[in-house]
Amino acid sequence: MKRLRVLRRWFGRKFGYARLICLAILVGVAALRIADFAPIQELRVRTFDTYQRFEPRVKTARPVTIVDIDEKSLTKFGQWPWPRTRIADMIVNLTRLGAVAIGFDIVFAEPDRLNPNAVADTMRYLDEETKSRLRTLPSNDQIFADAIKRSRVVLGETGLAGANPLFDKALPVTGVATLGEDPQRFLFDFAGLLRNVDTLEAAAAGRGLFTIRNERDGIVRRVPMMLRAQGVMMPSLSFEILRVVTGTSTIIIKSEKAGIKSVGLHGLEVPTDRNGQLWVHFAKQDRSIYVSAADVLDGNIAPEMIDHKLVLIGTSAVGLNDIKTTPVSAAMPGVEIHAQVLEAALANALLSEPPYGIVLEFAAALVLGLLVITFAPMFGPVVLVVIGGLFASLLIGASWYFYAQQRLLIDFTYPLLSTTAIYLTLVFSSFVREQAQRRQIRSAFGQYLSPALVEQLALSPEKLVLGGEEREMTIMFSDVRGFTAISESYKHDPQGLTALMNRFLTPLTNAILAHKGTVDKYMGDAIMAFWNAPLDDAQHQLNACQAAVDMLERIEELNKERETEAQHGGHAYIPLNVGVGLNTGTCVVGNMGSDLRFDYSVLGDSVNLASRLEGQSKEYGFPIIVGSTTALAVKEKFAILELDFIMVKGKKEPEVIYAVAGREDIAQSGRFQRLRNLTIEMLACYRGRDWDGALAVIERGRGTGEAHSLELLYQLYEARIRDYQKNPPPEDWNGAFALLTK
């Protein structure tokens, strides 16, 4: 179990669980693309719709004319269906005007109700002679069939949801040859087939299904080139017209295990999807190719609209319900969709979804996904957004190029979706990790830093180096003088002692935090703090000295409050006096401790010296004592007074120490200037072994008005000098005094 935990920690550190999740997403999205569920398909086809709206097919020629059974025609000739003789007249006129072929987007499934024999059987008040004469006349269907025979006409048929009991397999069908796999299992299959009356079927040059399948969202994007209806493979109306025009007897279907590849004729191969459907390359709706059926019947039509044209007969009349939605139009008559197929095929402007397209999609998704998984965690959010935009632009640009230049439909949505999912997962993982890191930082430093610094550190965790680093820092130790005596007065009131400690530690801590310090630890009545970690502080020496002076001022205010309380309470008042030691130097700072518990702390000789200086503050009579590096950094902003040249116990190198006597206003005062001059003169005599001169300066200093400020310092040096007079220091003495206590 231990080895497994170690392995898991190693994996999480080296590779990251977020990357593992992203690999799972990469595989999962690939599986969804293979399954190709309806929402996936819809996203893909809507992308292709967008392409067609931005750049529809541009017509270079108009080889197709639509004879429209429009509102005008219905108004003039009455409601549909018309007598077949009228349709025959239309064919005759079109053939005479030079139509190459005529296709009907209409099915004539029943005999004409106005056939002469039907009229004889259904019309009342006719004498027998009239009825007999009517029965000898040719039927309207026959007249229509005769007109069909004299032209090249393709009749329309439609698929049915249920089997047609009147279906006659003996009627002619188009020949179909297959190359490869049996295509029938891939074709859209209708249980039934609605055909035209036998007389018309036998006379036609071809027969095709005009059935158009709306997609899931009701938009027509693809038109089947081949279908299966009542067990028979049938071409579409538009493809059958092409077969008749080219004089091809047999349609060739190429297929493989994945589905149908193409449907071909002599000199023309139409690429299809796996179900034998053609992606229609739509042009904008074009009313210029429409002529009214009424004008054809009346002969009021320009010959060039029909001559050498393929003619489709259909309807745009609202009542006949043949209006479709396409990517480029919300209301396109179904007959125009067949016209668009013919135009695209004849102009060789066909769209196709190549079989290798999915290979390109998978390759793009894999490469981009792995690149994002590998490199995204290394970059910042701005770089990631820029890189993400470049990837998206690359995918969209490549897909658009294939559409616009090669007329190939290559889907970019799958690799873009896959890459986006991976990217968002990594962003979310980074966010969660960052929030956890911020909570950890707030928890770790909330007790030691000001709220503003904690928040800054949480927002910029890169500024925190965990585990230890070496940097220059200023260290503070503070302690309450005579606290043992104070605590003894509370020996019967431990709660009162706790309240007192909290009462004076709080303002001292606030002073440290207010000047960008970090509280390291509390040691009874003592505080250890440091500056320039974990956040950089270019003025850490200055801020540390500001905090030290501020601490004395706050303790002074607290003492005034306690003195007032003692007077009103009638109990003894013992003032709180604080000693502070500051030192600047190179330290090691970071998380230190054991595997079970650790603290953010600091180590080094500079720390030890700061502790020793705090201990000496009571000896020299100044509450704030600092090392030389600290003093030199703040000498322009504070009243700095040199005190001694000492050898601290445990250190080999001596250190010049100074007192911080106040802020800049104190440093500029005449009183402080006199104190400093006296001290400089005394130290010069002392280090020059001029013991009498040093004692004379001390006596002169005691006679001034500032004598009380230096009295402890004078006593310290007077005792040393008396001792040196009796026991002179060695010849190589450099003026340093070795401290015997810590």
Same domain, 321 and 416: no
Q: How buried is residue 415: exposed, middle or buried, by Cβ count under 10 Å (0-12/13-18/19+)?
A: buried
Residues 630 and 493 in one domain: yes
Contact at 8 Å (CB) between 579 and 623? Answer: yes
Residue 673 tokens, joined:
């200037």
Same domain, 700 and 625: no
Split into its structural domains, the chain has a count of: 4
Angle (CA) 276 279 283, round 5°: 145
Model pLDDT, residue 741: 60
Q: Residue range 85-91: average pLDDT?
A: 93
> Is the pLDDT at 415 greater than 50, yes or no?
yes
Of the pLDDT bands very low, low, confident and very high (cuts 50, 70, 90), residue 372 is confident
The pLDDT of residue 360 is above 50:
yes
pLDDT of residue 127: 75
Closest CA to 478 of 625, 693, 306, 280: 625
Residues 364 and 305 in one domain: no
User: For residue 571, is it within any domain?
Assistant: yes
Q: Which residue would you say has higher pLDDT here, 241 or 124?
A: 241
Q: Are residues 373 and 339 in the same domain?
A: no
**pLDDT tens digits along 611-660:** 999 988 888 989 999 999 999 999 999 999 999 999 877 677 889 999 99
Among 629, 635, 624, 622, CA closest to 604? 629
Do residues 124 and 160 make contact, with C-beta atoms less than 8 angstroms apart? no
Residues 47 and 122 in one domain: no
| Distances from the Cα of 440 to the Cα of 172, 461, 465, 466, angstroms | 82, 10, 14, 12
Q: What is the predicted pLDDT for the residue at 629?
A: 94
Mean pLDDT of the 402-422 span: 82
Long-range CB contacts (within 8 A, 24+) of 326-330: 326/219, 326/220, 326/221, 326/280, 326/282, 327/48, 327/49, 327/52, 327/53, 327/219, 327/221, 327/282, 328/52, 328/53, 328/56, 328/282, 328/283, 328/284, 328/285, 329/282, 329/284, 329/285
Q: Is the pLDDT of residue 23 over 70?
A: yes
The tens digit of pLDDT for each residue in 55-75 reads 999 988 899 999 999 889 999
pLDDT digits (tens, 9 = 90+) for 565-592: 888 887 778 889 999 999 999 999 877 7
Q: Is residue 449 in some structural domain?
A: no
- For tokens 């320009």, what's the residue? 302
Q: Does 201 map to a domain?
A: yes
Where are the extended beta strands (E) located within 63-146?
Answer: 64-68, 101-104
pLDDT value of residue 288: 92
Residues 6+ apart with CB under 8 A from 212: 220, 223, 324, 334, 337
* 8 pLDDT more than 60: no
Q: What are the E-state strand segments in 540-669?
A: 577-593, 598-603, 624-627, 638-647, 655-663
Which pLDDT does position 740 carry in this prediction?
60
Evaluate if residue 448 carries a pLDDT over 60.
no
d(Cα 438, Cα 453) in Å, to the nearest integer? Answer: 12
Question: Which CATH number characterizes residue 618's domain?
Answer: 3.30.70.1230
Q: Span 692-703, mean pLDDT?
A: 88
Largest CA distance in the chain: 170
Adjacent-strand bridge partners of 271: 262
pLDDT confidence tier of residue 14, bands split at 50, 70 and 90: very low
Query: How many helices, marked H, and strands, marked E, lie in the chain?
Result: 25, 27
Measured CA to CA, the distance from residue 354 to residue 258 in angstroms comes to: 12
- Provide the H-helix boundaries in 216-333: 237-246, 293-298
On whether both 21 and 75 belong to a single domain, the answer is no
User: Quick one: how far is CA 55 from the chain centroid?
Assistant: 29
- Residue 665, exposed/middle/buried by CB under 10 A (0-12, 13-18, 19+)? exposed
324 and 384: one domain? no
Among residues 297, 315, 346, the one where a domain terminates is: 346
Beta bridge partners of 234: 227
pLDDT digits (tens, 9 = 90+) for 184-205: 999 999 999 999 999 999 999 9
Quick check: 324 and 45 in contact, CB under 8 A? Answer: no
Distance from C-alpha of 151 to C-alpha of 154, rounded to nearest angstrom: 10
Contacting residues for 87 by C-beta, under 8 A, at least 6 apart: 144, 147
| pLDDT (mean) for 603-618 | 90
Instruction: Count Cβ atoms within 10 A of the Cβ of residue 65 and give its class: 0-12 exposed, 13-18 middle, 19 or more buried.
Output: buried
Residue 131 and residue 106 in contact, taking contact as beta carbons nearer than 8 Å: no
Q: Confidence band (pLDDT; 50, 70, 90) for 163?
A: confident
Q: Which residue has the higher pLDDT, 698 or 474?
A: 474
Looking at residue 10, its pLDDT comes to 45
Tell whether the model's pLDDT for residue 470 goes beyond 50: yes
**Residue 452 binned pLDDT confidence (cut-offs 50, 70, 90):** low
Compute the distance between CA of residue 358 and CA of residue 231 in angstroms, rounded to an integer: 32
Average pLDDT of the chain, as a whole number? 84
Q: DSSP 3-state helix, strand, coil percentages of the chain (rounded to 5)?
A: 50, 20, 30
pLDDT of residue 80: 86
Rounded to an integer, what distance in angstroms lies between the CA atom of residue 266 and that of residue 23? Answer: 49
In a domain, 110, yes or no: yes
Question: Could you say which of 346, 368, 383 is where a domain stops?
Answer: 346
In this structure, what token pair is assigned to residue 486?
């104070």
- Can you read off the two tokens belonging to residue 317? 């009349």
Least confident of 457-461, 535-539, 651-655, 726-730: 457-461
**Peptide bond before residue 730 is cis, with ω within 30 degrees of 0:** no
Domain-embedded: residue 606: yes
Is the pLDDT confidence value at 11 over 50? no
pLDDT at residue 321 greater than cutoff 70: no
Give the tokens for residue 296. 């054809």
Q: Which of 194, 188, 211 is nearest to 324 (CA)?
A: 211
Q: Indicate the range of 208-217, 276-285, 338-347 predicted with least confidence.
A: 208-217
What is the reported pLDDT for 524? 86
**Residue 134: per-residue pLDDT:** 75
Is the model more confident about 356 or about 8?
356
pLDDT digits (tens, 9 = 90+) for 528-558: 999 998 788 999 999 999 999 999 999 999 9
Q: Residue 82 carries which DSSP code?
A: P
Same domain (yes/no): 553, 655: yes
What is the three-class DSSP state of 333? strand
The DSSP result for 387-436, as a single string, is HHHHHHHHHHHHHHHHHHHH-B----HHHHHHHHHHHHHHHHHHHHHHHH
Question: Residue 58 and residue 56: Cα distance in Å, rounded?
Answer: 6
Do 627 and 715 share a structural domain?
no
Task: Identify the band that residue 447 occupies on the pLDDT scale cut at 50, 70 and 90.
Answer: low
Task: Tell me which of 13-17, 402-406, 533-537 is least confident.
Answer: 13-17
494 shares a domain with 579? yes
| 3-class SS of residue 67 | strand
Lowest mean pLDDT among 97-111, 160-174, 210-224, 598-612: 160-174
Q: Measure the CA–CA gap between 624 and 635, rounded to whole angstroms.
A: 14
pLDDT of res. 142: 92
The Cα-based distances of 342 to 274, 409, 534 in angstroms read: 21, 20, 75
Question: In percent, how much of the chain has pLDDT > 90?
Answer: 39
Q: Domain span at residue 143?
A: 64-169+189-247+287-346
- Cis before 534 (ω within 30): yes
Query: What per-residue confidence (pLDDT) applies to 598?
Result: 59
Q: Which residue has the tokens 């179904």?
A: 334
Q: Please provide the distance, in angstroms rounded to a whole number, between the alpha carbons at the two ends of the chain.
A: 49
Q: Which residues pair with 579 in a beta bridge?
A: 479
- pLDDT above 90 (res 595): no
Name the domain boundary from 303, 326, 346: 346
**pLDDT per position as a tens digit, 493-518:** 888 888 888 899 999 999 998 999 98
Domain co-membership, 209 together with 157: yes
Which of 120-134, 271-285, 587-601, 705-719 holds the top average pLDDT?
A: 271-285
Sheet holding 232-235, edge to edge: 189-190, 226-229, 232-235
What Å distances lie between residue 259 and 186, 254, 262, CA to CA? 6, 9, 10
Q: Say if 120 falls within a structural domain.
A: yes
* Domain annotation covers residue 272: no
**Mean predicted confidence (pLDDT) in 69-97:** 92
Q: Among the listed ranges 47-51, 319-323, 678-682, which one has the minimum average pLDDT value?
A: 319-323
User: Is 435 a domain residue?
Assistant: no
